[in-house]
Structure 1
């Protein structure tokens, strides 16, 4: 893998069949499909493929939205999605003059819409066909979500003014980048969280994109940026929810100050208690959204693994990846990998892949030990075959002992100390505070259990011996023991240099 290629943690994906069902039930696509079927006898459309006035009224009634004041807008959105995704196809009238659209009356039809080929795939295609159509529609909706408020533009034109794009304060690249970053953060939370369905408060999500990591207390200016971002995200998530990308609870309208044209407060925001933070908006990616964001990341060259990707790979690929997985997903990945293999064959493959004196060797062996803990007892012969192996004899004895099996030979002191160094080396890369505390406890326990521990360990022929001793010197709470560890590290370095 290229060092400069971004890597994401793995995610659990629903089956394609489940995702396709979710796509078909997304309100916006469901409405678009319903309108496409309704158009089987031909529907008059305007210059951009939009429904003419009478057709829009009929379409709104067909969707059962006539009583909703926003019904025509919802219908127009669904129709546009049908056009953009090929659920309907437009045939222009031969005698239609579309060169000067501004001169055409509002109800002028320049073409006819009828069901397109994609509608057949949506109803009779396989799950991937459905997902491809949905994904194309989602890209259209994402573009709509970062578009400016065109009501200001319409007002300018209605008043006879000239179009001034600078006046609407819109940078399409910045808006798209911000939304991509937000979706990426939601994806990370889905991957790393124990509960992938957990709702994320909108203020926390906005702050994750704006507040610098090293800032203890956000400044007023930063807080204002977060507030502005929240309002933009509120608008955007309202657009994205109907396509099924996110599940969203909008910001409570009572919390938003209403201003008049001069910027003077007309209605003040309602006070908010701490326990009402959910009223500021809650959002999460749906399973369909997780799949979609991952698909976009893969297209962008991001390494975005999914649970089960390694099931048909060799043990070397499994052990190379597992150290970077969250614990719960590492176990789930291991279980899937083991399901496809006989216990004895799986154990032999894992043990062979765990060997090596390279820097990642300790991590591979730790991953192998964790995976082997899930292997059935039939693997016993494979573990006994490596009892005399310097790299593997220690973990083999642990496996046999955990199962209460007989005839486990006593390890040599050299093997015990080698395994100790290897175990600590595997944990040194974890900078998490909790993990560091556990490592500190391990370091203290090991040195306390063995008299002359440091004098023995510096002689261990392990490539990480000096690094481990230096770490023990930093972590050991007893100053005397820490000093002994540092001296031992110096001796180990000298031995390696010699």
Structure 2
């Protein structure tokens, strides 16, 4: 980040401090100068103005520097030190120094709030803040703060989000769960770009067409391919084919050894082609990928962020990332629709998929990125397989953010390793005394088990919290269950609604629709407040917010008040 004038200025400031016995926070002053140089076109100390400090402390720092609000005082002090040096060294006059100090004093009370305002965070800062990217040295700084629980109170002091994310080796890659190789290979066989690459090579060989002397697809041939084969990006498909050696080009001669459709290749061959495809898409290929150069230059960074997040990015978040890259110098002709269209093209390449406004890695995209990192020599750990652990590990994994298809594979694999009776006993034992959501995960899995699990399920009839679920399971299998009391029926109704609370908060409209079709009747709701269940008040609040019948919703809110009045929380 630093350039020659900054290095020279820091040496002068360091010497000035020593000669006057002034404590200079060199790291802070350097960061001020670095960012002034990088973002505000400051090329020497005399270029600094009062407005420079305003932009640095209220705009650049909140977006870029990972630091808690209480660190603002240190930065403000460093700014004052810099002004003192500028004045004594003759870089500025007395009147300018007065204006600078007044501006810094005006900024000082605003800066902590600016550092804490997450809406101002840049993309890299947001992501590394969410990841908790502390270094060992920084962990030892202090035990943490209430504002940033679990983080150093001087989080990345003097280290910026930009420095942390310049390359994949800056911070450890998170452990990821990968789909089985055979599932990845099958998905790859459906990737349109890879199939198009095969089709273009076949067309070139069949028609005897030749590339340019530089090996590129000729413009007129690209037009013919687009018309005759219906391929949207023939030049990209050809560039990929040459890169992953589906075709060999010598001068203007094209040859292909053993060119076979993806459907005829074994999994190992398909995965090798896909590894090359992912490296091609993220490594700055000669051909355009999305048709939008600004996004194409950032494909590696966007894929890397998606990998590290292990969660979707919104289109808005991607735009913010690009805005930071452009640093305010937005390319001409940019409009929101252009980014949207470019992301659709990227999705057609197979590494990402779009779900509404969210962009996320495909399972085969995740596999390909991890393979690329490994070949780069970067440690890319794989998360433990819950199927190989105990019930606690499986339930914990299922409670995390996990695609539905992955959850189904994990459950099936875990169950395959034990008998139905063993599975039921282990699952229900693991959730004794647990919260409703955890208990619900175990009960849901046990519901899949056959009659062989009955001895284990019956052994939990004496557990107050698991008894209603055990009775329900036995009844569903017509295996002679004891009758539930009225209080137990109420308890299990509350417990099942408590299980639904996280999903209700995430998708309230769907939850309200479910209640409209199968919500508890008014007379049941009016009695729920009596249930000794730790979540009864929250469940009644939930019903009060989402029941479509206003009168029944009002009854739920009254019942929630009664539950709290008797100390049930």
TM-score scaled by length of structure 1 = 0.51
Structure 1 residues 138 and 386: alpha-carbon distance in aligned structure 2, compared to 1, 3 A threshold: same
Indicate yes or no: 2:180 matched with 1:15: no
Counterpart-to-counterpart distance in 2, 1:449 and 1:149: 57
Structure 1 residues 32 and 451: alpha-carbon distance in aligned structure 2, compared to 1, 3 A threshold: closer
Indicate yes or no: 2:561 matched with 1:486: yes
Q: In the alignment, which residue of structure 2 is the partner of 1:161?
A: none
Q: In the alignment, which residue of structure 2 is the partner of 1:449?
A: 524
Structure 1 residues 210 and 149: alpha-carbon distance in aligned structure 2, compared to 1, 3 A threshold: closer
Q: In the alignment, which residue of structure 1 is the partner of 2:274?
A: 134
Residues 329-478 of structure 1 aligned to structure 2 (within 5 Å)? 334-357=411-434, 361-408=435-482, 410-411=484-485, 413=487, 415-429=488-502, 430-431=504-505, 432-437=507-512, 445=520, 448-449=523-524, 452-454=527-529, 456-457=530-531, 460=532, 462-471=533-542, 474=545, 477=552
Counterpart-to-counterpart distance in 2, 1:436 and 1:470: 14
Counterpart-to-counterpart distance in 2, 1:446 and 1:420: 11
Indicate yes or no: 2:365 matched with 1:290: no
Q: In the alignment, which residue of structure 2 is the partner of 1:26?
A: 195
Residues 333-389 of structure 1 show CA distances to partners (whole Å, capped at 9, x for unaligned) of: 5445434432111211221222233xxx21122222222221111111011000001
Note if contact 2:431-2:442 (Cα within 8 Å) is conserved in structure 1.
Answer: yes
Structure 1 residues 472 and 291: alpha-carbon distance in aligned structure 2, compared to 1, 3 A threshold: closer
Residues 171-226 of structure 1 show CA distances to partners (whole Å, capped at 9, x for unaligned) of: 76556667889999xx979xxxxxxxxxxxxxxx9799779xxxxxxxxxxx9823
Q: In the alignment, which residue of structure 2 is the partner of 1:215?
A: none
Residues 33-72 of structure 1 aligned to structure 2 (within 5 Å)? 50-51=214-215
Tell me the C-alpha RMSD between the 2 structures: 6.3
Q: In the alignment, which residue of structure 2 is the partner of 1:320?
A: 396
Structure 1 residues 422 and 208: alpha-carbon distance in aligned structure 2, compared to 1, 3 A threshold: same
Structure 1 residues 338 and 123: alpha-carbon distance in aligned structure 2, compared to 1, 3 A threshold: closer
Note if contact 2:288-2:296 (Cα within 8 Å) is conserved in structure 1.
Answer: yes
Counterpart-to-counterpart distance in 2, 1:67 and 1:409: 69
Note if contact 2:471-2:481 (Cα within 8 Å) is conserved in structure 1.
Answer: no
Residues 262-311 of structure 1 show CA distances to partners (whole Å, capped at 9, x for unaligned) of: xxxxxxxxxxxxxxxxxxxx9xx9xxx9343222565899x9999x9644
Partner secondary structure for residue 338 of structure 2 = helix
| Structure 2 stretches lacking a partner, 5+ long | 1-128, 133-173, 321-332
| Structure 1 stretches lacking a partner, 5+ long | 37-42, 92-106, 151-167, 190-204, 212-222, 249-281
Counterpart-to-counterpart distance in 2, 1:304 and 1:438: 41
Residues 12-411 of structure 1 aligned to structure 2 (within 5 Å)? 15-19=183-187, 26-29=195-198, 50-51=214-215, 81=240, 84-85=243-244, 127-142=267-282, 143-144=284-285, 147=288, 170=294, 173=297, 225-229=335-339, 232=342, 236=345, 290-295=362-367, 310-323=386-399, 334-357=411-434, 361-408=435-482, 410-411=484-485
Task: Please state how far the C-alpha of 1:312 moved relative to its aligned partner.
Answer: 3.9
Partner secondary structure for residue 367 of structure 1 = helix
Partner secondary structure for residue 438 of structure 2 = helix
Q: In the alignment, which residue of structure 2 is the partner of 1:4?
A: 131
Note if contact 1:472-1:485 (Cα within 8 Å) is conserved in structure 2.
Answer: no
Note if contact 1:294-1:304 (Cα within 8 Å) is conserved in structure 2.
Answer: no
TM-score scaled by length of structure 2 = 0.46
Counterpart-to-counterpart distance in 2, 1:67 and 1:391: 64
Matched residue pairs, number? 364
Structure 1 residues 127 and 27: alpha-carbon distance in aligned structure 2, compared to 1, 3 A threshold: same
Note if contact 2:540-2:557 (Cα within 8 Å) is conserved in structure 1.
Answer: no
Task: Please state how far the C-alpha of 1:492 moved relative to its aligned partner.
Answer: 1.4
Structure 1 residues 293 and 443: alpha-carbon distance in aligned structure 2, compared to 1, 3 A threshold: same
Task: Please state how far the C-alpha of 1:140 moved relative to its aligned partner.
Answer: 1.6
